[in-house]
Structure 1
Amino acid sequence: MYDQKDFCCHGCKTVYEILSSNDLDYYYALDERPGISPKTQLGKFDFLNSAEIVEKLLEFKSAEVCIVNLLIPEIHCSSCIWVLENLSKLHPGIKNSQVNFPEKTLRIHFSAEKITFLQLVELLCKLGYEPYISLSDSDKKERNIDRSLIYKLGVAGFAFGNIMFLSFPEYFEVKEFWLDQFKYVFRWLMFAFSLPVVFYSASTYFISAFKGLKSGILNIDVPIALGITVLFLRSSFEVVFDLGTGFFDSLSGLVFFLLLGRFFQQKTYSYLSFERDYKSYFPIGVTRINHQNTQNQNEEQVEVYKLRKGDKILIRNNELIPVDARLMEGEALIDYSFVTGEAVPVSIQKGDKIYAGGKQTAGLLQVEVLKPVEQSYLTQLWNNEVFDKNFKGSFQDLTNKISGYFTKAILSISILATIVWYFIDPSMIPQVFTAVLIIACPCALALAAPFTLGNLLRIFGQHKFYLKEANIIEKMANIDAVVFDKTGTLTSTKKNKITYEGDLLTEEEKSLLNSTLRASNHPLSRSLYEILEQNDIRTLDSFTEEVGKGMEAFANQNSIKIGAFTYVTKLNKWKQAQLNQTAVHISTNDHYKGRYILKNEYRDNIGHLFKTLEKNKQLFVLSGDNDGERKSLEKLLPLTTKMSFNQKPQDKLQFIKKLQEEGRSVMMIGDGLNDAGALKQSDVGVVISENINVFSPACDAILDASVFSKISQFFSLANSGHRIIKFSFLLSLFYNLIGLGFAVTGHLSPIVAAILMPLSSISIVAFTTISSQFSAKRIMRQTSKSQNKYKT
């Protein structure tokens, strides 16, 4: 079916052989790109040999079956689902497997007697579906899904439908013998249906109103709870004393629409993780060395939490270091970008300290633990009060801001109407007083924000901006300061720009350069090798590499040195500011030739984005890097943009806090764990990600990197949503004024309430939905034209 040439690598061929030998080669008919290339490092999952670690990862374990739920970031299409749900055909120990595509998880039932957990994971890795197992998996709590809102909505909807059906004869005063005989039964049935609506479905509003009043706050739930109470008491009074049918239909409809709005607002993106901390990135287990004597040493797999001061552990290439440690053996080239944002790897000498969160990029290391994981440098960031689960900002949404005024106004109108009717007809006082409270119940007012923001939440998601909650949109409308991280945020992590300064290289020197770069595993060398035009690759006579400095090679009686300026030459040619740039220097035959300057390429339309944002927002750039890019940024960004370099995570957090103390509402946009404190402290924390499913620290929103230039559009959408809510309030006020006209004159009948109250709710929902959709299309179209004009 496929020849050797059809596979991009040996890994793809391995996948094909596994599947075809088990009659699963139909997988290749499901996707145009057959096979996924496994890239798992040998020994990466050795910690799964520990029964203690495996025990914490399993959801269920018995003699016959074990159940585990694994995160598989590589799941992306129907062929992935097909092959993963047919794992039982690949190994008899796997009983069944089920994919949760939105959450990128795979639930597997397997027999531990026939296949170990390690073998199961290795099988997935061979297929190209490497599970993502982190420290957070070892202490994860059972997921608590609150379905109470759905149950309450169901009860209210059921009661609303039945009460409306039973109310029809009363609406039209049908004079039919049997209907007239049973109308009392109908009324008591409506009363019975209303009981679970009031005491169960509407309980949330009573609790919220009570807490608000207890705290001295008149939130929107206070007039709602008051309206529900008056509706129920007056309707019950009319039924008990045979004075009428009451307003049970309006009562149940009111609660149903309110809960529908709350349900719509509660919808979010379950497959995205908005609450990651360091545990989501650290390995769950490591290899610890037990020194029994000088001649023998044993290795064991232990959980990271079991590490203590003085333990010796092994760190493999490209592994994250989970504890503060001291280098004992090996060549350490540590990438701290995960923690500090500094992009250039740091060379660590034997005996020097390595901080938790660094990634080894130059081979196997042996290190000595200095502090347990709970006391490491990285975890100090999570000791800040900003990460307290009870930490909340002082934001108050627009609905609650006006609710106090609304409640006071309604009570004033009802009292005024009561006084007027005292002089006209005192017998009408109870009817008028309760009618005002009934018709003025702010159902439409309460629905305006949920449906507007809920619809915008969906629109934002369609444009690859994923918000944790709908009220983040209202917070965005109040933002007046935007703080950007530089590396990985303003710059792309997938594209690099390279420039050469110096003497031109001959073809012979280019060939030698490529051959030497190919032999190195240094990140800068690999980046440069991938960017340069590929010349003839030749066999080197000798090759040496000094970690953190550079490399030297010989071929055909020619020599080349590649690396740091101080390594390749003894000249003092460059100023310190120039040396701060990320560059690879070259000398051939002891003659300095020049340097390749590597720069992360800035994202598209960044100049236009900043120019648009500066019109009504103060802009800041914070970077963990040195200021080597300052001049480039000054040319690219508006003059009003304030920049700070060499910023540590704690510095960024304090910077945000200072802006807030000055009265600013701040949005922080970052990409890494080093930004987590600032993201949490800010009013709105946004993570920009090349892959939205993994590696996003705690935040309020996740922005797909491909739509970075649309940030100004999202602000415009948020402002538009704020305006739509205000217009909805005016529309709601219009309906309330009409209803108050009926109420204060004593002409509010059940049929008027049954028409007016649902009509106001439905019209508000229709207005907010249509308006937000129209505004989104208009803003996106206008901004796209503006960007195209800017490019031109």
Structure 2
Amino acid sequence: MTTCYHCGDPCKEEVIKFEDKSFCCQGCQTVYEILNQNDLCDYYKLEQMPGISPKVQKQDKFAYLENEDIKEQLLDYKDDSISRTHLYLPQIHCSSCLWLLENLYRLQPAIQQSRVNFLKKEVTVTFSNTEFSLRQLVELLANIGYEPEINLDRIDQPKKKAISRKLMYQVGLAGFAFGNIMLLSLPEYFGLDLESYEEFAVWFGYLNLLIATPVAFYSGWDYFKSAWISLRSKRLNIDVPIALGVLVLYIRSLYEVVSQTGAGYFDSLCGLLFFLLLGRIFQEKTYHRLSFERDYKAYFPISVVRIKNNEEKTIPVNEIQKGDRILIHNGELIPVDGILIRGDAQIDNSFATGESKPISKESGDRIYAGGRQQGEAIEIEALRPLSQSKLTSLWNDQVETIKTHNHFSEITDKISEWFTPIILIIAIISGVLQWANGLHAVVQVVSAVLIVACPCALALAAPFTFGHTTRWLGRQNCYLRESAVVEDMANLNHIVFDKTGTLTYSNNQSVNYNGTPLTAAQQSDIHTILRQSNHPLSRLIFNSIQQETWSTISEFEEIPAKGLTAKVGELRYKIGAPKWVGMNIKNTNDSVVAISINDEPIGYYTIFNEYRTGLDQLLNKLSTNYGLSLISGDNDGQKDRLISMFPKGSELIFNQSPKEKMDYIEQLQNQNLKVMMVGDGLNDAGALKKSNVGVALAEDVNAFSPACDLILSAEAFNQLDQILTFAKSAKKIVIISFIISFLYNIVGLSFAVQGLLSPVTAAILMPISSISVVGFSTIAVWIASKKVK
């Protein structure tokens, strides 16, 4: 029967010919024409007949996507020109799907970017909403065979994905056939030689063949397909020996039944696929469970200043309610959608869209979550409570800050590249050695070797262990961007600390003013200017000034590592580093913030640095396993005190700009060091991004930074050594899991090559090995967590 060039389905009702190619329906032909017109036919080179046959859509099927309330639920981000959404596409099944969906921009220029999460079967799309709507995007996907599954009743809830229905059918068919073939084969098992049975033996053999054939080619189809793709790409994956084992069993059984020389091995074949597919169900449920828990456990600590009854109070963002008025400082992330009430909003949306050019907003304009204010502080009125899942999605998917991780899953793939040919060689040698015992023995040995050697447990060890580790760290107020960060933490050998706001408290420190006495008007101006900034020193001085009136400022700017500049009426204020302000201050051991008006220095604030409790002990513990450095933008007035706190041999550097901090991290990495940078997430973004693991310390301010890999609550700072020890334990658990899997294979192979292990027994043992590895990793992580106090 003719098959469709696009989707591979049989052309039952009609055959449409187009450019010497056959299509089963008008929809498949249309998709081919779309791809052909846009030079996207490489889609068919990656996989043969990879397409999905698009269903005929009603003209108004997606009209509900024009509703603003529904669009708000489906969009992760939206501004006046850019929208971003992620959609679940259950049709994703191969590399061609991934390639086509990541080239959507070639089908529609309004699509700026599309990225696929193959495991979750999700695509994240950023598009221009002035040229293209959400409804048009969904219609485009549906027209090329990838209609999104949209369930509005569960849109705000983490949804546990169901096991593939096809997989359930495959398991059901294999289990049904396995049981019935065993019943028909009972006389063979017991060695009965009754004449009455002999009359039916031939018919039982053909009946078993009839039952087993759909099992071999439907239940085993995914193994055959995966093996064929692997061979065609000139590489060997782990499904090759399985497919070969199934094929050997089927052909040998077919020969025995047709030639009437035996009953065949149909029971072994069906039992083999039944237990293999049970193992696959177990693996899918494991991945789905990890993914599901990650969706709602990946919260991170962001707080925000709420203005109520003219009082400013820091609250967690998840307590924001509709109608609350919140204050967003310079450089802070906007956590919720809102209406601009006061201030000059210059919104940097690079976190959400990649576009870094600030967008101006006026009072009354709508501002969307995910933007970052650049300039003076603004007040917005929240339109709705926090959608934590959307903000988490932005953090997890932010492309510019994702680092290259050496996942254990990549090691697993590399292992399979040499593991599979070794197993094939062992199977061939074993078969040759068993040849003297007859073809039956050869089939048994080769099949058992091919099945028992499947290292499926390796695929579960790393994600399950790191998933448990990530969840435990979350309970300790340590929030990771992704579970692969655990491995990077385990490989660290050097830690770099920022000083202000990291080693020191961001509040409860004494502040003293020295210089020309300030008038009430000047205090009001300074108080207002400091209110715009989120730097720890700015917040300390701001809180120390008792002032209830506010000035009107203009031309505000915060310059990293230097300070603040703003204009109030005809007065130009500069508040920041003494040298930048134009003041020479000597012999001070404390942090200093100088002030000038119209370029005339008038005085300075000294801030007594109060270091975090237990800092000395933490640094001593860390020094046993890590090199330590301090790199600060402040002066070196505290150098002697810090030298006494840091272990001997630590490097302490002061008066560093953000660029110099980043260069220092790179310098350490050039010495083959794996570096963790611990900062406050404000002036350290470049260094956090450059380091192998960037840690933003969060206290009672919005310290969230998209450049970091890990957000650590200030309460958990003294546990940093224990957190790193736990990460190392997690890596050891994965390695031990690998060893357990290899030992299982060695023991299994030792029995299989001797002909002491049947294919069915091997298939039963394989999911048991996966369960044992997952069970070990679960218990081991729990035990490791109990050792960390």
TM-score (norm. length: structure 2): 0.55
| Deviation digits for residues 452-496 of structure 1 (CA, Å, limit 9, x no counterpart) | 222222222222222233232222221222233334433444x24
Mapped to 1, the partners of 2:678 and 2:773 lie a distance apart of 34
Q: Pick one of 175, 178, 182 that aligns with 1:164.
A: 175
Mapped to 2, the partners of 1:635 and 1:669 lie a distance apart of 20
**Which ranges in structure 2 are unaligned for 5 or more consecutive residues?**
1-63, 78-126, 142-147, 151-158, 191-195, 258-263, 303-330, 351-357, 380-397, 531-536, 557-563, 568-573, 597-601
Mapped to 2, the partners of 1:168 and 1:686 lie a distance apart of 56
1:717–1:775 contact (8 Å) kept in structure 2: yes
Q: Pick one of 743, 749, 753 that aligns with 1:744.
A: 753
1:281–1:695 contact (8 Å) kept in structure 2: no
Confirm whether residue 467 of structure 1 aligns to residue 480 of structure 2. Answer: yes
Q: How does 1:197-596 map to 2 (within 5 A)?
A: 198-200=220-222, 222=237, 224-237=238-251, 240-241=254-255, 242=257, 243-244=264-265, 245=267, 246=269, 247-264=272-289, 266=291, 269-270=294-295, 359-360=375-376, 392=404, 399-400=412-413, 402-403=415-416, 406-407=419-420, 409-422=422-435, 425=438, 428-493=441-506, 495-498=507-510, 520-523=527-530, 527-528=540-541, 530-531=543-544, 574-575=585-586, 581-582=592-593
* CA separation of 1:240 and 1:259: change in aligned 2, threshold 3 A: farther
Q: Pick one of 729, 737, 741 that aligns with 2:738.
A: 729
Q: CA deviation at 1:749?
A: 2.3
* CA separation of 1:445 and 1:431: change in aligned 2, threshold 3 A: same
| Deviation digits for residues 625-682 of structure 1 (CA, Å, limit 9, x no counterpart) | 4444434433333233323334444433333333333222233333426444433333
- Structure 1 SS opposite 2:761: helix
**Aligned-partner residue type, residue 234 of structure 1:** V
Mapped to 2, the partners of 1:613 and 1:538 lie a distance apart of 45
Q: Which residue of 2 aligns with 1:681?
A: 690
Q: CA deviation at 1:360?
A: 2.8
- Structure 1 SS opposite 2:592: coil
Q: CA deviation at 1:690?
A: 3.9
Q: Which residue of 2 aligns with 1:607?
A: 616
* CA separation of 1:168 and 1:711: change in aligned 2, threshold 3 A: farther
Q: Pick one of 178, 186, 192 that aligns with 2:214.
A: 192
Q: Sequence identity, in percent?
A: 31
- Structure 1 SS opposite 2:729: helix
* CA separation of 1:68 and 1:174: change in aligned 2, threshold 3 A: same
* CA separation of 1:209 and 1:490: change in aligned 2, threshold 3 A: farther
* CA separation of 1:538 and 1:231: change in aligned 2, threshold 3 A: closer
Q: Which residue of 2 aligns with 1:68?
A: 72
2:174–2:219 contact (8 Å) kept in structure 1: no
- Structure 2 SS opposite 1:619: strand
**Aligned-partner residue type, residue 228 of structure 1:** I
Q: How does 1:146-157 map to 2 (within 5 A)?
A: 150=161, 153-157=164-168
2:741–2:773 contact (8 Å) kept in structure 1: yes
- Structure 2 SS opposite 1:702: strand
Q: CA deviation at 1:443?
A: 1.6
**Aligned-partner residue type, residue 447 of structure 1:** L
Q: CA deviation at 1:436?
A: 1.2
Q: Which residue of 1 aligns with 2:119?
A: none
Mapped to 1, the partners of 2:654 and 2:290 lie a distance apart of 39
**RMSD (CA atoms):** 6.1
- Structure 2 SS opposite 1:450: helix
* CA separation of 1:313 and 1:398: change in aligned 2, threshold 3 A: closer
- Structure 2 SS opposite 1:669: strand
1:625–1:647 contact (8 Å) kept in structure 2: yes
| Deviation digits for residues 252-310 of structure 1 (CA, Å, limit 9, x no counterpart) | 13433343444455456446599x9x9966999999xxxxxxxxxxx9999999xxxxx
Q: How does 1:690-769 map to 2 (within 5 A)?
A: 690=699, 695-769=704-778
**Which ranges in structure 1 are unaligned for 5 or more consecutive residues?**
1-58, 74-134, 288-298, 306-310, 321-355, 364-385, 504-508, 552-561, 586-591, 782-792
Mapped to 2, the partners of 1:448 and 1:777 lie a distance apart of 20
Confirm whether residue 666 of structure 1 aligns to residue 681 of structure 2. Answer: no
Mapped to 2, the partners of 1:473 and 1:757 lie a distance apart of 28
**Aligned-partner residue type, residue 703 of structure 1:** L
Mapped to 2, the partners of 1:279 and 1:209 lie a distance apart of 52
Mapped to 2, the partners of 1:230 and 1:625 lie a distance apart of 67
2:465–2:734 contact (8 Å) kept in structure 1: yes
Q: Which residue of 1 aligns with 2:56?
A: none
Mapped to 2, the partners of 1:746 and 1:312 lie a distance apart of 72
- Structure 2 SS opposite 1:703: strand
Mapped to 2, the partners of 1:662 and 1:412 lie a distance apart of 43
Mapped to 2, the partners of 1:256 and 1:739 lie a distance apart of 22
Mapped to 1, the partners of 2:361 and 2:484 lie a distance apart of 46
**Aligned-partner residue type, residue 711 of structure 2:** I
Which deviates further from its counterpart, 437-446 or 167-176?
167-176
- Structure 2 SS opposite 1:575: coil
Mapped to 1, the partners of 2:455 and 2:711 lie a distance apart of 34
2:170–2:219 contact (8 Å) kept in structure 1: yes
Q: CA deviation at 1:774?
A: 1.1
1:667–1:684 contact (8 Å) kept in structure 2: yes
Q: Which residue of 2 aligns with 1:7?
A: none
TM-score (norm. length: structure 1): 0.55
Mapped to 2, the partners of 1:273 and 1:448 lie a distance apart of 24
Q: CA deviation at 1:773?
A: 0.7
1:152–1:200 contact (8 Å) kept in structure 2: no
* CA separation of 1:520 and 1:473: change in aligned 2, threshold 3 A: closer
Q: Which residue of 2 aligns with 1:379?
A: none
* CA separation of 1:566 and 1:725: change in aligned 2, threshold 3 A: closer
Q: CA deviation at 1:392?
A: 3.4
* CA separation of 1:419 and 1:408: change in aligned 2, threshold 3 A: same
Mapped to 2, the partners of 1:140 and 1:466 lie a distance apart of 35
Q: CA deviation at 1:439?
A: 0.9
Q: CA deviation at 1:238?
A: 5.1
